[in-house]
Amino acid sequence: MTAPFSDELLSAYLDGELNAEEQAYVEVQLRERVELRRLCDELRALRATLRAMPVSRPPENFAERVMRQAERQMLTGSPTTTDLTSGDSEPAAGLSVSRFLASRRWRIGLGVVAGLAACALAMVFLMPPFLSTTERVASAPEPTMGDAETTAELAQDRGDVAKVAKLSELNEKYVMRGRNQAFGAAGAAGAPPKTDPTGEIEMLPSAAEESRPAAPVVADESTAVGTSVERHPKREQEGVVGGRRDESSSGEPAMSSGSGFGSAAPPSIRRGGIRGMGGGGSIRPVGPGMSGGFGGGMGGMGGGAGGVPRSLEPKSGQLTDMPAYAPAATPPADMAVDVKTKSVEGLEPSEIAATDAMSKTLPSDAQAEMAWLGTRLTAESIEQCTAQLDQSHFLLVRVSGPEAVDLIAGVPHSTMGKTLAADALKLFAETGVAVKEEGKLRNAAEMPEQKPGGGGRAVGQATQENPVTPPQVLIVEGSADRIRDSLAQLAARPEISVELASIIDSQTDRRLRILRFEDDLPQERVADNYGEGQSKNSEDGISVPREHSGRPMQADGRVREAKDDSVAKAPAQVAGKPADKADPARDPSREKLKGTAQDAVALPAPPAQPQDPAAVSKSAPAIPAAPAVPSVDKAPSAGTAAMVESANRPNGASVPSEVAKERAVIYILYRLLPEPAVPGPAGESGDR
Amino acid sequence: MNGDAQLIDDTLAGNRAAFGELVRRYEGRLFNTLVHMVGSREEAEDVSQEAFVQAFLKLDTFRGRSAFYTWLYRIAFNVSVSRKRRRRAEVSMDLHRERTGEEPEEAGEGPGERILREEQVQQVRGAIGDLHDEHRAIVVLREIEGCDYETIAEILDVPVGTVRSRLHRARLQLRDQLKELLQENVTE
């Protein structure tokens, strides 16, 4: 080996991960270098110490708890927190009971249950039972563990035949329904059903509701669905329940219910253009497989349908009135926001964008405002996001996760004119992250000044060992429905994280605010850049992005192929930046962004699936249609024509290179295309 | 594992008990790993439970291209990261929340030795907790789980080279933080 020795080899040597040549090389180095031997000894001691750590074991009934939780979630879509607590105050619990039970779906369901219970009671009292109560309980077809326990408890503790009978009846209904949903008739035949027979997921009213800022919740993900909700002092919200069924699903199950572990609604839509992202609920699972159930999660409805919702208390068997939903208080007057204008009054831009979303240094209102940012996509947030889009407002979605790169693998590369690509780049450029020189985007490493905190531009010196790879940017245009479906399909991917990054308002000239998460920033680069282990740009308080996958963008929006070193690296690096206070030089654009549907170039319809399966990452499923919005309409003004601008790779490109296979972070910029003009005297196209 | 595939098929066919078996098969391994990942038993319980539940609900999406545990761990990893983001203000690595007495005693260990060992354990966990999430994941997978680089790369969906470099950096960081402890161990 002639390459310079890297200490990394030492770790790999200790782990036995070197080939013979490398191993011999390391051994030579060890013989010759004392400091290397010392390091080797230290690493050995460290390994031994780590491996000597005691083994922690889960509680004894862990498996049973998991199964109960899973079955409850599957059958009811309800967030059950009892199994999650070990005396902890589960944050979601504060939301769970009343809000969940206040959900529309639960009200409807409980109305049905109440009716059934009444019938059951009538049967119990008017007709001699065929079986004794306990026998009926025992013969109930495989109630869930929890339900069986509940029923058994009642039978044992109360001896109340009527109530036990009623409960067992209800349990049977729930169990059978859940089983039917989950397994269907085909379940009996040993095959999962194709679809959930109960079908629709209700989209809870969102715009009509008063929702308040609430703790963001991770929902909709099998990977991170509805994790415990962080309590926020300002939030009391009732999240959203239910979601929208992905009607365009090609069989891919929509996201699992986010209900299991809590939900919350991000701040109210009334609080601003970048708010009002409903949170909480989720898209109920449909499609093949296990998921079934009622879907939806918990969450308050806020002013929902008529009728007093009632809850079934498992212990007492009573149907009790649920606490009335208390609509959130209106936000302070100084925070009143017009959704259309998307402006947020009363907040200093620097306050908003100075730090990342969860910074405690932000005023609580600003924290609330930013709370939804970074939240996982949910059905309601999708709906609200889409509702806020218009010709001057774009939605930026951050997609991350091991398989995020698959989103762009196989996405057809467009021949879109420069306009839209330039728009997107310009948006990012406003933050100072992507800099245009001589019409070309330059990598941060190529910029003359590389200093930490340099307007967010400097991500760090790109070196061979430490390449700075930019986030990938997709631009998606389409109708509201198309965007909604795209977002829903994104959210349906359990392996990836899809979060709302920002709503970009070009008219109010708000800077693009892209939130970073601390764990986005590679510590080694932090140390390199700032030497303090900080995760933020010390000047403007903006975190810089972590290493991202993907290829740098060329000036025309194409992505340079991995092997093509002839094109200047031109990543669009995205970082938040404090809104420019009074520096026009740094806030160059007050003009409306260019690029409209009329500028768009129609593309041939991209394939819904990648042409070449081998071109798709090994872990990629059928490429979600999320960014691939087909259009065969060559008329530039076609309102429904949708294009996908892949900033990354041509259609059917090969699997991303090794660099690109790193954990990807992709930004998808959604722009709403105007509806096509309706011919006729009253036809008009316009903003939504 | 062939056994996993059969259990998965059985679960998808409607046999819930089959998934229960999967849980029992991997609960210990996942839980132990997560304790080191997230820094507390309580959180590890929550994360692992949620991961299993999500695996159950999404079992039909498991394509079988990786091992079941790989897929499960990835879910758990994402869950832990997401939960950590939501609890950003909290001290996610508050090791003082660890209940005492949960670690198995070693035979012949006196109380003083046990306390010292517990302190060392806390110290090590604290150092692990200070690592960046993905560095921590790699260290835990390597040193606690005993995974090779290829497996780690598969779980975290990063190249093997990345695993190597991050693991080394993480080790250097741990070495710096645990210098005194390591010196004691070296001299013992």
Inter-residue contact A479 to A639 (CB < 8 Å): yes
Say whether pLDDT at A341 is over 50: no
Nearest to B49 among A83, A223, A619 (CB): A83
Which residue on chain A is closest to B90 by alpha carbon?
A230
Share above pLDDT 70 across residues of chain A, in percent, rounded to a whole number: 16
Two structure tokens written together for A479: 């109708």
Say whether pLDDT at A263 is over 60: no
Interface test with B, best of A51, A222, A234 (most B CBs within 10 A): A222
Task: Please give the average per-residue pLDDT across A400-414, as a whole number.
Answer: 42
Say whether pLDDT at B3 is over 80: yes
Task: Please give the average per-residue pLDDT across A345-353, as a whole number.
Answer: 43
Q: Determine the distance in angstroms separating the CA of B1 from the nearest CA of chain A, rounded to an integer.
A: 18
Quickly state the pLDDT bin for A26 (edges 50, 70, 90): very high
Q: What is the ipTM of this complex?
A: 0.85
Contact B46 A59 (CB under 8 A): no
Rounded Cα distance between B30 and A544, Å, is 32
Quickly state the pLDDT bin for A550 (edges 50, 70, 90): very low
Say whether pLDDT at A94 is over 60: no
Q: What pLDDT is attached to residue B181?
A: 77
Say whether pLDDT at B8 is over 90: yes
Give Cα A331 to chain centroid, integer Å: 26
Inter-residue contact A398 to A667 (CB < 8 Å): yes
- DSSP 8-state secondary structure symbol assigned to residue A157: H
Q: What pLDDT is attached to residue B48?
A: 94
Contacts of residue A497 in chain B, CB cutoff 8 Å?
78, 81-82
| A residues 157..216 contacting B (CB < 8 A) | 179, 182-183, 187-188, 190-192, 215-216
Angle (CA) A470-A473-A477 rounded to 5° is 175
Which residue on chain B is closest to A361 by alpha carbon?
B89
- CB of A56 within 8 Å of a chain B CB? The answer is yes
Amino acid at B98: E
- SS3 string, A224-242, reads CCCCCCCCCCCCCCCCECC
Cα-only R_g, chain A: 28
Buried b (16+ CB within 10 A) or exposed e, B150-181: ebbbbbbbbbbebbbbbbbbbbbbbbebbeeb
Burial status of residue A243 (CB atoms within 10 A of its CB: 0-12, 13-18, 19 or more): buried
pLDDT tens profile B59-96: 988 888 888 998 998 899 888 888 877 766 444 444 43
Q: Determine the distance in angstroms separating the CA of B7 from the nearest CA of chain A, rounded to an integer.
A: 13
The sign of the torsion formed by the CA atoms of A617, A619, A620, A622 equals positive
Rounded Cα distance between A146 and A467, Å, is 52
Contact A223 B82 (CB under 8 A): yes
Q: Where are the beta strands (DSSP E) in B1-77?
A: none
Say whether pLDDT at A664 is over 80: no
A681 CB-near residues (< 8 Å, 6+ apart): none
Contact B82 A221 (CB under 8 A): yes
Better-scored residue on pLDDT, B136 or B110: B136
Contact A495 B78 (CB under 8 A): yes
Inter-residue contact A199 to A245 (CB < 8 Å): yes
Q: What's the first-to-final CA gap in chain A, in angstroms?
A: 63
Q: What pLDDT is attached to residue A76?
A: 72
Which residue on chain B is closest to A217 by alpha carbon?
B86
Two structure tokens written together for A38: 């010392």
Nearest to B31 among A57, A222, A227 (CB): A57
Amino acid at B167: L
- A680: Cα within 13 Å, side-chain hemisphere: 6
Rounded Cα distance between A672 and B9, Å, is 43
pLDDT tens profile A560-601: 444 444 433 333 433 344 444 444 444 444 333 333 333 333
